[in-house]
Structure 1
Amino acid sequence: MGSAGSVSILPGPGWWAGLPPAAGAAVMATGIISVALHMTGHEALSLVTLVISVALWLVLAVDFTARLVGDRGRFRAEADTPAALTAVAATTVVGTRISLLGWQTVAAALLALAAVLWPGLLSNVVRHWRHRMPGGAFLGCVATQGLAVLAAVLAAACRQDWLARAALAAFCLGLLLYAAALFRFDLREVAGGAGDHWVAGGALSISALAGSRLTASPVWSGPAHTALRTVTLVALALSLVWYVVLLAAELRHPRPRYDIRRWATVFPLGMTATACLSVAGPAGIAWLVPLGEVLLWIAVAAWLVTVAVLVSSHLAARRPPRRGVPPA
């Protein structure tokens, strides 16, 4: 679900065959906003965004399967790119929201699917890491923490302690992958990235979300619980620092042109809001709730703007050039 330029995700001739792996970030963004809307009591809006994210996930799943079966060369080439890991992350985000509906069997099936996809895609991506990478490098952390979040949510819903322990292992590995990606991240992306540079902060937000779910679990007590709470708060604090830095960079260096990687901007905005809402209870910090609510509506606004710009750019691309005016 790959590196991409300004590729549309709107319908058109053969549109399903032209989706790059980076389109998976649209599922991630829409799905996590659905989770946050559910957490704040906006159930109708949450269900609408859930339906959209599931529909997008199904389209991308069909496309992913078609490439695996019918175009192995393209599949192998795209599986080496960091954006391929959106297949795992998107599946875990959708699974998390479905678990909150009470559909634990479906959520467990999505966790199993993501867990099957994760090792092969992660190993391919890590083998092709290089120095001075864009923000997509952090998707290894995001995909791994997505597994941790969904496993922790299912562990609580189904009272399966072994899932909580598996979630802890994924959480720790995700933090290590974040550190490794940070070492390779090209800091020039902060001022010039096409959108996926926001994943540098979003990866910490999903780490904080995973940590909050683990902290809330009765499996951990004493020093283990204290350590989890501390790491979770540090991850959330650092994600908020990234949020401020990246927002300031956007204002200083505007990048208004649509790029499909802009969905990798919307996802961290929604994820940071969700992390604040989720951390508030287990950490006992009440003011994180209103902060999360404010950040949620910023994320919703960013989602709407991204959709509007996507539609506008798609229509402009399809509009025939005026007579005597060469196409752009």
Structure 2
Amino acid sequence: MVNISDVARAAGVSKATVSYVLSNDPRITEQTAAKVRKAVEDLGYTVNHAARALSVKKTMTLGIISPAYHGSYLSALFGLHMYLLSEQAAKFGYDTLSICSDSGDQALNKAWASRKVDGFILMDVSDDDPRLSMAASLGAPTVAFGSPLDSYGLDSVDSDFPKAAQHTIEYLAQEGHTEIILLLWSRSIFRRKMGFALRFRDTILEQAKIHGITAHIVFPEDDESDPSVTIAASLRDYPNATAMVLHNESATIVAPQTFADLGVHVPDDLRVVTLFPKQLFTSMRIPFVSIDIDVAALVETAIMLLLSRISNPNAPMVRQAFDFPMSLKYQ
């Protein structure tokens, strides 16, 4: 069986250095860490979690806290995030504990008091999220996966939705569009004050005004609304619109078939721009211009931020927003 000494010899470092790398200690250079990770992968080394937890006085488990109910809009996307979070954590010898609760602040408090986890990642973060203040008051290492207005001093990671909105409008303005449809997340998402939806909506309306573009906002009523019905109704209501922006994954998925059923040809009849996960966009071959959201990059950053925070609780706060590129590959 491969042990830590074997990894150290293969990487040309000490056993202590291997241990530091596996614990994501920030004192280790990236060059050294890369050698150790390569040796781990080449040798097929796996961490003895029980022994390591006893030696470093850690649980070697990360808590992922999310609402108990996501609705049809967020379920598939949430599953992708959960899978990638668990996969990334495992690379550093960590397990993940999914904590699904609509009383997330109390669930966080209970998990931290019982020392079930070494830190938390908060999913589906809203602007008035009580989990943020709870984590901050407990001093628990925590990363907010989202873009709240106030993160209470916690680290956070998300797509840069204001930048995505700016890129979208600039692209449409360059093409000469003066009237567009914005098909956004459901009204229930906005009532919950979800930061990703609010930041994108507010910025795209500001940018549309700057560029002299009339933007018609369309919201599905709730998470269970049929997006194909919403798309068809918006085209009937705004027949002069020459472009549609989809910030709604469910609508993006059904849109190609909906347009085909309606006899709408993209992009000849209607320019369509969407924000969509890169990992799904390629396999589904969505035939629209897209801001490719790289969920894997977001997840990797979230895990690295949390492990760094566990290692160094007093480091300065980090808020990282990814400005993802626009893709034209299927146009």
Q: Taking CA–CA contacts closer than 8 Å with sequence separation of 6 or more, which of the two structures ends up with the larger relative contact order? A: 1
With normalisation by structure 1, the TM-score equals 0.28
Indicate the structure with greater helix content: 1
With normalisation by structure 2, the TM-score equals 0.28
